[in-house]
Amino acid sequence: MRWLWVLMLGGTTFLVVDAVSEGSATAAVVYGTIGLALTWWFSPWQGGRNVPHAEIQSRPESGRPVVIYWRPGCVFCARLRGRLGRAGRRALWVNIWQDEDGAAYVRSVNGGNETVPTVVLGNRPVTNPDPRLVLDQLGAR
């Protein structure tokens, strides 16, 4: 799953080139738009800036009020990010596909599964929490 975006980019390129070679510019634009959107959705850069798990653990507890472990392509992570809006910028985000220590932490609190979003509120991990709970912790409500 971690490299799905590479396959999607290759497939998109193939479809666009094929549509152009058949003379269908409209199909090429549609394939390109949809393919690039899906490629971005599954890419590791989708979420913006991420903080390494090791850096978070080295901070005092008061310096990490909300930590959100996520991965690209996760619908529940996108829902949480969308519902948090600008307040989500105050949280520390860890992409578990880019940070093996973060993935190990998520597995340790979720019975061996990489279930995301896993949100640490204070020192308590919560899996797929209600966005209102996270907003309350961020002081955005």
Q: What DSSP assignment string belongs to 2-47?
A: TTHHHHHHHHHHHHHHHHHHTT-HHHHHHHHHHHHHHHHHHSTTTT
What topology is assigned to 53-138 in CATH?
Answer: Glutaredoxin (3.40.30)
- pTM assigned to the model: 0.72
pLDDT in tens, 63-82: 777 999 999 888 899 899 88
> What percent of the chain is predicted at pLDDT more than 70?
92
Domain boundary assignment for the chain = 4-42, 53-138
Cα separation, 14 vs 31, in Å, equals: 10
- 72 and 47 in contact (C-beta within 8 Å)? yes
pLDDT at residue 58 in the model: 87
pLDDT at residue 60 in the model: 84
Tell the residue number behind the tokens 């999607």, with chain if given.
Answer: 8
- 70 and 115 in contact (C-beta within 8 Å)? no
pLDDT tier at 59, thresholds 50, 70, 90 = confident
Residue 44 pLDDT > 70: no
For residue 55, give the 3-state DSSP assignment.
helix
pLDDT in tens, 88-127: 888 899 999 889 999 999 999 999 999 999 999 988 999 9
Q: Which of 14-18, 24-28, 34-38, 43-47 has the lowest mean pLDDT?
A: 43-47
pLDDT at residue 46 in the model: 62
pLDDT at residue 69 in the model: 96
pLDDT at residue 6 in the model: 85
